[in-house]
Amino acid sequence: MKTLGDYSMGEASKILAESGMAIFPVSAAQPIQNLPLNICEFITKKIAENVCEKTNIHQTSPVSLATVTPFKPIPDVGLHKNRFRAVISDCVCSLNYAGAKKIFFLSSCDFFSASITKAVNDYKRKLSEGFSYEIISWQSIDFAEKKAAQHFENLNQFWRNEAAVFLLANELKGIDIPVETQKLPFSKEDFEKWKKRGADPEKLRKFSPDFRFSSWTGFSAPQTSFFEELCVEISKIINEKKL
């Protein structure tokens, strides 16, 4: 299925006027162990394409944000969070003006949720009455977390999300999963830096009370397609919340 960006303004407006909905993929360049920097963008794009086919809802062109991490920032990748909010605001207004009454944000992680919510609220007065949106983080839905826990041992909350990325990277790109990942220690000061960058250190402490992220062991390869099952689950969520 084509993205809305592949159509002319008139054609895209007609599609949105008829369906009233759009899927908006949002992803990040996150340094995850030894995976390619764009792995979350790649996976989110693949999921969005599959989900659009299953739900018969067109998607926008993906937007990528370089999420701030305790690692050294990588310049010229993605968008600064304030520009990211501005892009989301403008896109939402344009989509709503063209006929979209509901937008499904399909994100690679839940760190986007606050920025997306603020972006929509920044222009709320300009949006039509009855406009609504949903944010779906494919790493964090119950199905993805349970599936990751089935195939790795010793997962805490933080690593469940990254384990899901590894499962999909293994299936979609053939990337080998290490037998045991490196334990990554962080100081209390590292965690406090997250607060200055917009993250919630209290949430991070729940992930790792002793300021140390755990590792996983005992990987067992799935016998079925995790990607296909995940897309089915996300499609169910969207179909239940359609207009």
CATH number at residue 105: 3.40.50.10310
Residue 165 lies in a domain: no
Tokens of 20: 């009233």
> Is it the case that residue 72 has pLDDT exceeding 70?
no
Instruction: Give how many domains the chain has, as a whole number.
Output: 1
Percent of the chain having pLDDT more than 70?
77
Question: Cα–Cα–Cα angle for 58, 63, 65, nearest 5°?
Answer: 155
Cβ pair 164, 234 in contact under 8 A: no
> If pLDDT is split at 50, 70 and 90, which confidence band does 109 have?
confident
Tens-digit pLDDT profile for residues 173-210: 999 887 766 555 667 777 677 666 666 656 656 656 66
184 located within any domain: no
Q: Is residue 218 part of a domain?
A: no
pLDDT tens-place string over residues 24-34 = 999 877 667 77
Segment 218-235 mean pLDDT: 94
Mean pLDDT of the chain: 83
Q: How confident is the model at residue 152 (pLDDT cuts 50, 70, 90)?
A: confident
| Axis-axis angle for helices 157-173, 226-240 (nearest 10) | 120
Q: What is the mean pLDDT of residues 25-49?
A: 85
As a whole number of angstroms, the distance between CA 227 and CA 41 comes to 15
Alpha carbons 167 and 177: distance in angstroms, whole number:
8
Q: Output phi, psi for 213, to 5 deg.
A: -80, 140
Domain containing 41 equals: 4-141+224-240
pLDDT at 70: 39
217 vs 1, more confident:
1
Position 17 scores a pLDDT of: 93
Looking at residues 64-92, what average pLDDT do you find?
Answer: 62
In a domain, 228, yes or no: yes
Contact partners, residue 196, CB within 8 Å, separation at least 6 = none
Q: Which residue has the higher pLDDT, 209 or 79?
A: 209
Whether the CB-CB separation of 147 and 219 falls below 8 Å is answered with no
Structural domain contains residue 67: yes
